[in-house]
């Protein structure tokens, strides 16, 4: 199963040379891994147990998929109304370096309030309004991945792994913010500074003729209404979760439903051609479904490894062979760039839950490493997968241009946390 996973991972990475869509590779990989898990078991009751395990994983994965679908729809709805002009019209700089810093810090703090995947989707939508050249936009999108993962790591609601640690009682909200904010900002500043030296000149902004003029069919107040209602729906998700204790995708679906009704009423008297571009029913036809299927496939593939015990065996090996909590966390961060960080963190919680107290430095560094380590590869995080799907960024291109900077920033944040813990909090 591990060898097959490596082969499937290679097929995903070499999507463009092979001319095979990564979504197809991920889906086939997922099914074959689960089949191997089922038929490789010596237990006669294995088929029923494997099916039950598959259903449990699918329930958890579906939450993420529905969340992603809702976020992409809301952002596309705002975009179709030209709602992001409220922000882009106020960003007047054409200087690449200034814009890179501006976009990165917006993404960093936005991901702490929302979550890294939703923030990445919003920021890519903004970049499409600001930068015409695709290759230039890829550089900015690469920094958005790093910024959203760094920003999500220090917030209790900014990353799914941090949410897991918070809900299970391993960390408290205020403590994780105090202890990991500086490492998180360092993991952003280091690659941001490095990439700033590679960018020169000014960006090519979209010309007026290239912009989609939804203003032809929407008024200013309609554009503002959809923008603020959409952003409010996204910001309401953590509040909804805190109040109801429902999973985040329920808040996302609630916000999408409210926006759906609002836009249907708003545009009910308009021509069908305009209405189809401005309501959820029409926008759902333009959502990037292959990216959602890729997300489903890769998470199911990793879930097969988890159910078969490979990830638990890996965690046990790290514990017995290394032992040092700082080093274990650094390795987990690197592994999260290849294997989804959710099962990695889940396995780690299971191993140490009864051994270490709440707010132990191991849990804090785990939140940082699992969150930011995913930036090393573009498919190492939910934010990266979302950006890859929206912008069609090549896996190899990201490795050549962004990965090294992400590694340097990640390690710089690790050293920062280690130094802070020894000098300030010991």
Q: According to the model, what pLDDT value does residue 217 have?
A: 59
Across 295-308, average pLDDT: 83
Does the pTM surpass 0.85? The reply is: no
The predicted-structure confidence for 193-232, as pLDDT tens digits, reads as follows: 998 888 888 887 765 554 544 445 567 788 889 889 988 8
Q: Mean pLDDT, the chain, as a whole number? A: 83
Question: Is residue 424's pLDDT more than 90?
Answer: no
Long-range contacts of 337-341 (CB under 8 A, 24+ apart): 337/373, 337/374, 337/375, 337/376, 337/377, 337/380, 338/9, 338/377, 338/380, 339/302, 339/305, 339/311, 340/298, 340/299, 340/302, 341/160, 341/161, 341/370, 341/371, 341/373, 341/374, 341/380, 341/381
| Range(s) of the domain holding residue 175 | 2-203+212-423
Q: Single out the residue of 24, 121, 54, 130 nearest to residue 85, CA to CA.
A: 130
Task: Please spell the DSSP secondary structure of 22-68, one letter per residue.
Answer: HHHHHHHHHHHHHHHHHHT---TTHHHHHHHHHHHHHHHHHHHHHHH
Number of domains in the chain: 1
Q: According to the model, what pLDDT value does residue 340 have?
A: 66
**Helix and strand element counts for the chain (H, E):** 22, 0
Q: List alpha helices for 40-172, DSSP H.
A: 46-80, 85-88, 96-113, 116-130, 134-153, 160-167
State residue 110 phi and psi, 5-degree precision: -65, -40
Question: Is residue 143's pLDDT more than 80?
Answer: yes
DSSP code, position 401: I
Rounded Cα gap, residues 269 and 215, in angstroms? 16
Other C-beta atoms closer than 10 Å to the C-beta of 423 total 8
* 405 or 63, higher pLDDT: 405
Q: Is the dihedral of CA 27, 61, 289, 112 positive or negative?
A: negative
Q: Which band of pLDDT confidence, cut at 50, 70 and 90, is reported for residue 42?
A: low
Q: According to the model, what pLDDT value does residue 214 have?
A: 43
Name beta bridge partners: 95: 202
Across 144-162, average pLDDT: 86
Residue 397 has which token pair? Answer: 């291109």
Across 103-126, average pLDDT: 86
* 16 or 300, higher pLDDT: 300
Give the position of tokens 């939910």: 382
Name beta bridge partners: 202: 95
Q: Which band of pLDDT confidence, cut at 50, 70 and 90, is reported for residue 104?
A: very high
């Amino acid at each position: 199963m591990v060898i097959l996973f490596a082969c499937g991972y290679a097929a995903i990475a070499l999507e463009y040379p092979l001319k095979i869509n990564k979504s197809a590779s991920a889906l086939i990989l997922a099914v074959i891994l689960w089949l191997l898990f089922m038929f490789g078991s010596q237990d006669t009751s294995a088929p029923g147990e494997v099916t039950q395990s598959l259903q449990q994983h699918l329930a958890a994965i579906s939450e993420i998929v529905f969340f992603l679908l809702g976020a992409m729809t809301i952002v596309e709805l705002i975009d179709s109304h030209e709602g992001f002009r409220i922000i882009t019209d106020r960003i007047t700089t054409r200087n690449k370096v200034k814009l890179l810093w501006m976009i990165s810090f917006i993404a960093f703090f936005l991901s702490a309030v929302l979550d890294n995947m939703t923030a990445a989707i919003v920021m890519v939508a903004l970049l499409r309004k600001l930068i015409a050249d695709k290759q230039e936009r890829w550089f900015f999108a690469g920094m958005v991945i790093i910024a959203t993962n760094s920003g999500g790591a220090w917030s209790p609601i900014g990353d799914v792994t941090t949410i897991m640690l918070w809900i299970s009682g391993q960390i408290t909200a205020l403590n994780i913010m105090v202890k990991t904010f500086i490492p998180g900002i360092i993991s952003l500043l280091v690659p941001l500074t490095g990439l700033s030296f590679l960018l020169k000149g000014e960006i090519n902004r979209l010309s007026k003729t290239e912009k989609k003029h939804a203003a032809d069919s929407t008024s200013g107040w309609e554009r503002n209404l959809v923008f603020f209602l959409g952003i409010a729906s996204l910001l309401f998700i953590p509040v909804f979760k805190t109040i109801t204790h429902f999973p985040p995708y329920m808040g996302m679906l609630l916000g999408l439903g409210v926006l759906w009704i609002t836009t249907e009423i708003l545009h009910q008297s308009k021509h069908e051609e305009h209405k189809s571009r401005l309501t959820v029913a029409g926008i759902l036809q333009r959502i990037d479904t292959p990216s959602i299927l890729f997300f489903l496939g890769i998470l199911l593939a990793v879930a097969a490894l988890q159910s078969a015990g490979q990830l638990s065996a890996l965690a046990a090996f790290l514990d017995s062979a290394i032992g040092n909590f700082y080093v274990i966390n650094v390795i987990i961060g690197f592994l999260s760039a290849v294997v989804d960080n959710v099962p990695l963190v889940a396995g780690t919680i299971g191993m140490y839950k009864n051994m270490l107290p709440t707010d132990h430095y191991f849990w804090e560094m785990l939140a940082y490493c699992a969150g930011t380590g995913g930036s090393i590869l573009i498919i190492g995080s939910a934010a990266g997968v979302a950006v890859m799907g929206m912008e069609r960024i090549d896996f190899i291109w990201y490795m050549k241009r962004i990965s090294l900077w992400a590694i340097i920033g990640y390690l710089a944040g690790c050293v920062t946390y280690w130094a802070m813990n020894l000098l300030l909090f010991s």
